[in-house]
Structure 1
Amino acid sequence: MSHAPCLSSARLSIEPFKLQDCSDIYPCISLSLTQFMSWEPAQSFEEFESIGKSWLQAQALRTDQHFVLRDKTTQKFTGLIGIHRIQTKTPEFGLWIREDQHAKGFAKEALKVIYDWGIVTFEADYFIYPVAEQNYASRKLVEGLGGIISHVRQQPKYLQVTYHIPAKLKI
């Protein structure tokens, strides 16, 4: 059960994750997509569906919220965005766009909508956005929201840069 609203941007429908979304999401996850992510692709649809069930559980517990991004015109799956640890003062964003939709501005569009929703929904001191040092597109994205580097840490797959994004309305 999800308590998050259905949101939208100019080109995207941004709706709470449902288990039925797994069939659209799973084929879009590849090793090249996840090179700058802390996780690896599921080895089977069943494994991914199990991950989806854990997302639903986290949503029901109101600790995390995952949103599915779809093209408003075609309803084609475009990506995922989540906010993790939403009961804390420092919720964390996670975002990915399917590879054939990269460099079209969808990530910026989705993050802005979720950021705007997050600052009025959660009592956050700031938001966290971890990103691989070499993922320059994501770094530019978070810096565009006023994100500043908090710290850098070596992760198993890459050097991670963690940004803090102010949690205040920009007037």
Structure 2
Amino acid sequence: MFTDLSTLILESERLRLLPITDAYTDLIFREFTPEVATYMHPRPATERSETEAFVEAARAGNREGYSLSMVITDRQSGDFLGCVGLHKLADKRPEFGIWVKQSAHMHGYGREAIHTLKRWADDHIPYEYLIYPVDSRNMASRKIPESLGAAIISQYDDTGGMGQELTLIKYRIDRGTPTL
């Protein structure tokens, strides 16, 4: 779809979204904890090499343009806050993914990052709608697609990477819905 997204930088009022690079491997390894992953499919890496493999796969997706994986940083300080992505870019229904480190929870960074990525998608991707999957119990994360006027399109039970039971809700986010 795209030839190379590895240099894309997106900014919002408080955030700078940067393409994922090796420089963030240690931070991702340290901050993607079992507490952060409670309601998620991926399980935290137990060895740094697993995070290295994730970062390399994400970088390949950015270079080849089939996925966009970015780190969320504080625009002023440059502090690492988490990761955000928009995957399956060639599909009619690309899918968001996001996590924010534990110490940055409850500051609206996730919502601001998704809204920023949504604005970029509206301008650059010919999608039918965007998908935002979230566990039904993750009320803070559910508020993100709801802030974009999203509608629930399905719900199903699944198992996360740590063996935890999940009840996933898939939200549909349409083009042109309000953003921050």
Instruction: Give the TM interval when normalised to the shorter protein.
Output: over 0.9
SS at match of 1:142: helix
- Cα distance, 1:87–1:71 mapped onto 2, change above 3 Å: same
Partner of 2:11: 8
Residue equivalent to 1:137: 140
Cα RMSD of the aligned pairs, angstroms, is: 1.5
**TM-score normalised to the size of structure 1?**
0.94
- Flag structure 2 segments of 5+ consecutive residues without an equivalent: 160-164
TM-score by length of 2: 0.90
Equivalent residue number for residue 29 of structure 1:
32
Q: Is the 8 A contact 1:4 1:65 kept in 2?
A: no
> Which residue matches 2:167?
159
Match of 1:112 in 2: 115
Number of equivalences: 171
Unmatched runs of 5 consecutive residues or more in structure 1? none
- 1:18 paired residue number: 21
Whole-angstrom distance in 2 between the partners of 1:152 and 1:100: 29
Contact between 2:61 and 2:67, CA under 8 Å: does it hold in 1? yes
1:67 equivalent in structure 2 = 70
Q: Is the 8 A contact 2:134 2:169 kept in 1?
A: yes
- Say yes or no: does 1:87 pair with 2:93: no
The farther-off stretch of 49-58 and 3-12 is 3-12
- Provide, for residues 5-27 of structure 1, a one-character-per-residue CA deviation record: whole Å limited to 9, x for no partner: 21111111111111221122211
1:16 partner letter: P
Contact 1:93 1:129 survives alignment (8 Å):
yes
